[in-house]
Amino acid sequence: MTKEVRVRYAPSPTGFLHIGGARTALFNYLYAKHHNGKFIVRIEDTDIERNVEGGEASQLDNLRWLGIIPDESIDIGGPYAPYRQMERLDIYKKHAEELLERGIAYKCFCTSEELEASREAQKANGVAAPTYDGKCRHLTADEVAAKEAAGIPYTIRMRVPADVTYKFTDLVRGEVTFESKDIGDWVVVKANGIPTYNYAVVLDDHFMDITHVFRGEEHLSNTPKQMMIFDAFGWAYPAYGHMTLIVNEERKKLSKRDETIIQFVAQYKDLGYLPEAMFNFFALLGWSPEGEEEIFSHDEFVTMFDEKRLSKSPSMFDKTKLTWMNNQYIKKLSREDVVALALPHLQKAGVLPMELTAEQQAWAAELIGLYHEQMSYGAEIVELSSLFFTEEIAYNDEAKEVLAGETVPAVMAAFKAQLEALDAFDAESIKAAIKAVQKETGAKGKNLFMPIRVVTTGQTHGPELPNAIALIGKEKAIARVEKFAN
């Protein structure tokens, strides 16, 4: 009988859910669901000094917003609880004591100053990657007891075996090897009694029956250390897959300090991106389906996900592609849903009141509908619709060129008269008024429509002209024509 697939996403609450973490979670999730397995979210909160308030909630809330729903986690529980590392300290302590008793690990009493001096000395001697010099490796039992009696704090270090080759078949990269001689004796438990990542993660993966681990490329060098712990206890390794870097459009590694790209999932949510679009975009960030199609549903991704199609090359975060993809999803929304997406951004910007009358609600729905096909994300409605909330129109060079046309004064005078004569101020009536101007002045095509658009909207391009003028309103439209004439 094949063992049930169990994968995990194990964030540290030292920050909020960002692009890289979301992609890691998604690929683990897709692999689990494709194989009818379980997706576990556990929290690695042992870096207590760097944990931030709200970090844990950000991870869980934004994963759920994306549609990446765990089967087991800190908030829904599960048969392998607890799922928070600081609640599992007794497990780490018990097994660290076993490592000490068996001589696989030892107590290290070196101070931070001594360790720093050793690193600097190694660098001075041309060592590119300094490792622990082994000063405490051979302390006798009496020496250890004396130091403990003197109250000297200690860490617990792994006694790295000599001349061992650590080899595994990476699910993305193929065969990978590391040599133990390149790895110094590393800290298993810190002086405050809290385990280090490379130690605790192994115990968690083993006791939670994790079968596969998909994670970022930066964790590749951690793998041999983790294999040492598995070996020490005689446990089987999970299968590892290390995903390539995400790079920006300049092909540089994506950094949380990179201000050219929005980094955190909550920011996309706040801007009015759709979770389905983000799910789709992240799924193609380092993985490719067969064929040229790029828009797929959640269930389609689950069905077709194949780890063999994970990329071996860095994945570029293409902002243009993301906005295009989100636009594709927005186009499919109903009018009601697109209004619900965009309206709060107009209210937040202060151009519409927070409490709307029925008339204002209807007007806002019509306004948003004008830009339904064009909108790439909810917050964009503020910029797209700015002409409706601007009192003073400033013409750009292109607009000024249009207004310099010989027939423009006559067209605008005729149009003003037509507007003033209208009883019903709706798109159909305005369309008829423009046609009447054509008959009266002989102007047609660009010579007719462009001056009317520029004067009433301030723009040379925009939504359907009669609809736009109807929403601007009779009073404001006439005022703009009058200002132009003067």
Helix boundaries (H) for 67-101: 89-101
Residue type, 353: P
With contact defined as beta carbons under 8 Å apart, do 341 and 377 qualify? no
Which residues have a Cβ under 8 Å from the Cβ of 427 and sit 6 or more positions away?
464, 466, 467, 469, 470
With contact defined as beta carbons under 8 Å apart, do 322 and 284 qualify? no
With contact defined as beta carbons under 8 Å apart, do 239 and 227 qualify? no
Which residues have a Cβ under 8 Å from the Cβ of 400 and sit 6 or more positions away?
none
| 3-state secondary structure (DSSP) of residue 64 | helix
Based on its alpha-carbon atoms, the radius of gyration of the chain, rounded to whole angstroms, reads: 32
What is the DSSP secondary structure assignment for residue 245, as one 8-state letter? P
- Burial track 15-42 (b if 16+ CB lie within 10 A, e otherwise): bbbbbbbbbbbbbbbbbbbbbebbbbbb
By CB atoms closer than 10 A (0-12, 13-18, 19+), residue 85 is buried
Closest CA to 19 of 216, 260, 264: 264
Phi, psi (degrees; rounded to nearest 5) at 375: -65, 130
Which residues have a Cβ under 8 Å from the Cβ of 366 and sit 6 or more positions away?
467, 471
Among 123, 256, 439, 483, the one annotated catalytic? 256
Does residue 400 have an active-site annotation? no
Report the catalytic residues: 256
